[in-house]
Copies of this chain bind each other. A is one copy, B any other.
Amino acid sequence: MAFDPATLRFDDRGLLPVIAQEKGTGEVLMLAWMNAEAVARTLETGRVTYWSRSRASFWVKGETSGHVQELVDLRIDCDRDCLLAVVRQVGPACHTNRKSCFFTAVRDGGEVELMAPMG
């Protein structure tokens, strides 16, 4: 069956959430958003390309920082309203220079920082 991004279920802004997971380690790196055109560009170029809600523009991950995400595999969930991008991540995924955006944990009723910025 040929894949058409238009068959995905986008929200009322035309977006769906995309989870980026690192190939090999399985670490969940970040969550961002794509519209249908970002999905198509990601598949065409092999470079993970999101839609930046704050800048209202396409966001080729790492285009300015060099911290690109090379697409390894793109997966669709059962409801077709969420994607999982398995990637090779160059450098940190997070804008705080940490490997993953999920560096804070809730433990014993408080917040704990799990990882430091990369050197």
Contacts and interface: CB of A to CB of B under 8 A. Distances in A.
Q: Which of the four size classes fits the interface of chain A?
A: 35 or more
Contact of A74 (B30, B78, B106): B106
A17 interface: yes
B73 A110 contact: no
Q: How many copies of this protein are present in the complex?
A: 2
Nearest to A82: B31
A34 B110 CA distance: 19
A105 interface: yes
Contact of A75 (B3, B96, B109, B114): B114
A60 interface: no
Contact of A43 (B95, B104, B106): B106
B111 A3 contact: yes
A118 interface: no
Nearest to A25: B26
Contacts of A95: 78
Contacts of A25: 26
Interface in A70-86: 73-79, 82, 84
